[in-house]
C-alpha cells in the first residue's frame, strides 16, 4: 500500500547525514533524544522504520526510510551549528544544578535552539565555551584522542620555576592522574603575580588548576581563550555568538586536513 509520506530522496536528501547511520545516531541528530534514550525508546517498541516496530538498535537507516517515534515522523536533522559563549565565572556547565547555582544555559537567549556544551568549564573558570546543536560533533571535539588543544590564560601568584614548567612538555602524573603534554609560557610578571599561557590537549577535570598547584602556584583567574580552531576573541563576558557557516566549515576542514583526516 502506498504511503503518501514516503518518497524517493531528493538531491538534498541524498546528501543527508542519515545516510547509512545507526538508528540511535539518527534520532539523536534529529534532536529527538540522546543515543541512550533512543535505545530505551526502541526497547519500549515506540520506534518504527517503514511501518515496522523496531526491536533492536542494531540497524542502519538512510534518508529513504520513514522513521517514526510514537507514531510521528521525525524531523530532518538540522544543519550543524556552533556558537561561542563567553562563560562568566560563578556559573555551572549543566542544564540544571541541585544546589540552585546559575547555569550557563540560564544566560542564553530565549530564541536559542536546543544545544549541548562541548566539554565543561569549572564553576569559577571563565572564557570560551562552545555550544552546538550537534551532539556527535560535541563528542568528537571533546575526545582527547582527536587532539584539539585548549589554551588558557591563567593569573597566578607564586615563584616561577621555568625549568620545572618546561619539564611538563612531556606530561606529568599528579596524585595518580596522568596528564598529557603541557605547554606553559609566561606572558608578563609583576613581582610574584604572573599571567601565563597554558596549552593542554586533554581537558581533564580541573587539569589546569591541578597543574598550577603542582607547580606551587595559586590561581586567581582562569580564562579559556582557545578550543581547537575556535577562539574567544573579543566576545564580551556573558555574550553568545554563532560561528558563521563558512567559518565553521573552513575551520573544521583545516583541522581535519592537519590531522590527516581531510
Q: What is the pLDDT at residue 262?
A: 41
Prediction pTM value: 0.75
Domain-embedded: residue 248: yes
Domain-embedded: residue 252: yes
Is the domain of 52 the same as that of 164? no
Domain-embedded: residue 1: no
CATH number at residue 66: 3.10.290.10
Q: Which of 108-112, 142-146, 161-165 has the lowest mean pLDDT?
A: 142-146
Q: What is the pLDDT at residue 261?
A: 45
What is the 8-class DSSP label of residue 86? Answer: E
Rounded Cα–Cα distance for residues 162 and 164 (Å): 5
Q: CA 196, 197, 198, 201: dihedral to nearest 10 degrees? A: 170
Q: Which of 93-97, 214-218, 239-243 has the lowest mean pLDDT?
A: 93-97
Domain boundary at 40, 56, 73, which?
73
Residue 223 banded pLDDT, cuts 50, 70, 90: very high
Domain coverage including residue 28 = 11-73
Residues 54-67 have a mean pLDDT of 89
Q: What is the pLDDT at residue 93?
A: 94
What is the 8-class DSSP label of residue 71? Answer: T
Is the domain of 143 the same as that of 212? yes
Rounded Cα–Cα distance for residues 207 and 171 (Å): 12
Is the domain of 57 the same as that of 120? no
Residues 86-99 have a mean pLDDT of 93
Rounded Cα–Cα distance for residues 193 and 158 (Å): 7
Count the helices and strands in the chain (H runs, E runs): 7, 17
Domain boundary at 54, 73, 92, which?
73
Please check the confidence at residue 4 and state whether its pLDDT lies above 70. no
Residue 180 banded pLDDT, cuts 50, 70, 90: very high
Q: Which of 73-82, 91-100, 235-244 has the lowest mean pLDDT?
A: 73-82
Q: Per 3-state DSSP, what percentage of the chain is helix, strand, and coil (rounded to 5)?
A: 25, 30, 45
Q: Kindly state the cell numbers that stand for 53.
A: 516496530
Q: Catalytic residues, which ones? A: 122
**More confident site: 4 or 11:** 4
Mean pLDDT of all residues in the chain? Answer: 87
Per-residue pLDDT tens for 186-217? 999 999 999 999 999 988 999 999 999 999 99
Rounded Cα–Cα distance for residues 200 and 128 (Å): 15
Rounded Cα–Cα distance for residues 243 and 230 (Å): 9
Q: Kindly state the cell numbers that stand for 240.
A: 553568545
Contacts of 182-189 with C-beta under 8 Å, sequence gap 24+, read 182/211, 186/160, 186/162, 187/153, 189/160
The answer to whether 141 touches 118, Cβ cutoff 8 Å, is yes
Domain-embedded: residue 3: no
Rounded Cα–Cα distance for residues 241 and 66 (Å): 35
Q: What is the pLDDT at residue 258?
A: 62
Per-residue pLDDT tens for 126-152? 999 999 988 778 888 998 888 899 999
Residue 259 banded pLDDT, cuts 50, 70, 90: low
| Backbone phi and psi for residue 165, each to the nearest 5 degrees, phi listed first | -60, -45
| Structural domains counted in the chain | 2
Amino acid at each position: 500500500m502506498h504511503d503518501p509520506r514516503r518518497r524517493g530522496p531528493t538531491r538534498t536528501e541524498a546528501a543527508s547525514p542519515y545516510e547509512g547511520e545507526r538508528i540511535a545516531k539518527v534520532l539523536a541528530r534529529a534532536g529527538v533524544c540522546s543515543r541512550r534514550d533512543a535505545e530505551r525508546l526502541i526497547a519500549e517498541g515506540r520506534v518504527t522504520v517503514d511501518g515496522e516496530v523496531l526491536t533492536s538498535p542494531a540497524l542502519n537507516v538512510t534518508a529513504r526510510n520513514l522513521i517514526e517515534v510514537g507514531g510521528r515522523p521525525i524531523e530532518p536533522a538540522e544543519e550543524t551549528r556552533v556558537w561561542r559563549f563567553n562563560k562568566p565565572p560563578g556559573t555551572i556547565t549543566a542544564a540544571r544544578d541541585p544546589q540552585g547555582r546559575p547555569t550557563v544555559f540560564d544566560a542564553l537567549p530565549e530564541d536559542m535552539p536546543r544545544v549541548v556544551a562541548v566539554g565543561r568549564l569549572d564553576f569559577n573558570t571563565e572564557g570560551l565555551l562552545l555550544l552546538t546543536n550537534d551532539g556527535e560533533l560535541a563528542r568528537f571535539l571533546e575526545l582527547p584522542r582527536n587532539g584539539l588543544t585548549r589554551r588558557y590564560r591563567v593569573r597566578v601568584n607564586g615563584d616561577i620555576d621555568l625549568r620545572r614548567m618546561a619539564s611538563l612538555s612531556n606530561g606529568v602524573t599528579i596524585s595518580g592522574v596522568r596528564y598529557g603534554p603541557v605547554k606553559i609560557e609566561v606572558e608578563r610578571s609583576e613581582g610574584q603575580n604572573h599571567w601565563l599561557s597554558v596549552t593542554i590537549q586533554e581537558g581533564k577535570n580541573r587539569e589546569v588548576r591541578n597543574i598550577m598547584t603542582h607547580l606551587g602556584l595559586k590561581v586567581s583567574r582562569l580564562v579559556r581563550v582557545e578550543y581547537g580552531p575556535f577562539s574567544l576573541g573579543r566576545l564580551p563576558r556573558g555574550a553568545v555568538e554563532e560561528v558563521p557557516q563558512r567559518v565553521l566549515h573552513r575551520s573544521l576542514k583545516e583541522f581535519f586536513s592537519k590531522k590527516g583526516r581531510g
